[in-house]
Structure 1
Amino acid sequence: MSEPRDTLYADPLGETGLFTFDDQVARVFPDMIKRSVPGYTTIIAMTGLLAQRYATPGSNLYDLGCSLGASTLAMRQNLREPGCRIIGVDNSPAMLERCRNIVDTDTHETAVDLVCADLENVAIENASVVVLNFTLQFVPLAIRDDVIARIYRGLRPGGIMVLSEKVTFEDPHLDALNIDLHHQFKRANGYSELEVAQKRAAIEHVLLPETLATHKQRMASAGFQAADVWFQCFNFASLVALK
């Protein structure tokens, strides 16, 4: 069965409200994110391979901002170590309800706990892998340092954090170029000019991107021994940080 197509911004909306992860978004989210985020499928697949490499027996793996569970399932389907548990966290009841239904149809054996909460209120403990795929960008700027520091403290030595984000560029010309390329990517995937404009208006005060330098400095300040980009396409990037 094909995924429902994202047409949430196809008709003129008058005053565009703030973007929220409600039931309407949850229903079309797989189509929305694949057509909106360049490299998304690759990032999810490689998240599974990173989890396979760094998961240790008896540890927890966290998917913070799990949405419909794409990263959770990628990790679950690649795990080989015994006694692991995946903890998926999301603060959207609509997303988490659909996530539960999807996870329940998966036949792999690693235990999965799904928690409805703000990620800053979830304890990170005994972790070998922590994933934030396009999540930190929705967290208030004032608490991002603390979120990353708590993740570092909750990781086992040798553990990793995967952080995927929309990013900005310090050079204004490069920033404008990558924004334009992203919009071109969306148009190539079937979004109209109206859809691109209305989605941007809805999300610009909700999704607050930062530069790669800011992310790397935050990771270094938290204590990570190394952190760098392993994937980037336009203004979307994924970093891995090693404890």
Structure 2
Amino acid sequence: MSENKDTIYADPLREAGLFTFDENVARVFPDMIKRSVPGYTTIVAMTGLIAQRYASPGSRLYDLGCSLGASTLAMRQNLRSEDCRIVGVDNSQAMLERCRNIIDTDTHETPVDLLCANLENVVIEDASVVVLNFTLQFIPLAIRDEVIQRIYAGLRPGGVMVLSEKLTFEDPHLDELNIDLHHEFKRANGYSELEIARKRAAIENVLRPETLATHKRRIAEAEFSSCDVWFQCFNFASLVALK
């Protein structure tokens, strides 16, 4: 993947606007997400191992909000089941164009279909694994319950959903602590105070985090048999939910 450095919010004279997954973001995305999301590399790598465990022969694996295909590749490179197919979905054409180039350089043979669409419009069917790594947080709050319910309906019995999200906390002191620690993480990775502030202003009305309790409630109401956190660092967590 490209390692172009993320300097999108470094120029004070450049209008930041709302955060969007355009060509500018796609160009620097690997650097941006590694320097902005604690544990991202671990989450992606373990997504591949979870897929290896739960993928069943002849099924589909979905990467919803696939961006440049990191989770798609992790699943593809760890699959042991035969006749599977991976479906990567993203609503950013700029992301998908770069994703296709990356997928085409991979030597593993599992077919990968890339679909440019809003994930709430995608039919999930005959799936053994569905991954949403930092995707649901960009979906309108009003339809998040429906999205999770439709994923459950499209999973085979014994299938798994991986849901990774930025969190908010009910306790305001814990919320402030985790936000501050996240900002310290970004400073340690070379982001300036200006970049941190401008990125936060650009994304706060686009990314709507929820509490862990809200995610667990939604998953339980969709009738998943079990769910819990398998990874957390500051206000970023990943859950597994089993059908």
Taking structure 1 as the reference length, the TM-score comes to 0.99
Q: How does 1:114-193 map to 2 (within 5 A)?
A: 114-193=114-193
2:60 and 2:84 in contact (8 A); partners too: yes
Query: Which residue in 1 is equivalent to 2:12?
Result: 12
Name the CA distance, whole Å, in 2 between partners of 1:102 and 1:109.
14
Where does structure 2 lack aligned partners over 5 or more consecutive residues?
A: none
Q: Distance in 1 between matches of 2:69 and 2:2?
A: 18
Deviations 1:1-38 (A, max 9, x none): 96100000011146531000000000000000000000
- The answer as to 2:116 corresponding to 1:110 is no
TM-score, scaled relative to structure 2:
0.99
For residues 57 and 118 of structure 1, what CA distance do their matches in structure 2 show? 27
Give 1:25's aligned amino acid. Answer: V
Change (3 A) 1:160 1:198: same
Aligned pairs (5 A) from 1:1-243: 3-13=3-13, 16-243=16-243
The list of structure 1 runs, each at least 4 consecutive aligned residues, that deviate by more than 2 angstroms after superposition, is 13-16
Deviations 1:218-242 (A, max 9, x none): 0000010111100000000000000
Task: Tell me, in whole angstroms, the C-alpha distance in 2 between the residues paired with 1:188 and 1:239.
Answer: 26
Length, aligned pairs only: 243
Q: SS of 1:163's equivalent?
A: strand
Counterpart AA for 1:50: I
Quote the Cα distance in structure 2 between the aligned partners of 1:3 and 1:176: 31
Q: How far does the alpha carbon of each residue in 1:146-178 deviate from its partner, in whole angstroms, 9 at most, with x for none?
A: 000000000000000000000001100000000
RMSD over aligned Cα atoms: 1.0
Distance 2:26 2:44 in 1: 18
CA distance in 2, matches of 1:240, 1:29: 25
Q: 1:2 to 1:144 in 2, by over 3 A?
A: closer
CA contact (8 A) 2:48 2:71 kept: yes
Contact 2:2 2:28 in 1 (8 A): no
Unaligned runs of 5+ in 1: none
Matched residues in 2 for 1:62 and 1:2: separation? 23
For 2:32 and 2:15, locate their aligned partners in 1 and report how far apart those are by CA, in whole Å: 21
Conserved 8 A contact 2:2-2:27: no
Write the distance in 2 (CA, Å) between the matches of 1:13 and 1:198: 11
**Does the Cα contact within 8 Å between 2:2 and 2:30 map onto a contact in 1?**
no
Q: Helix, strand or coil for the counterpart of 2:180?
A: helix
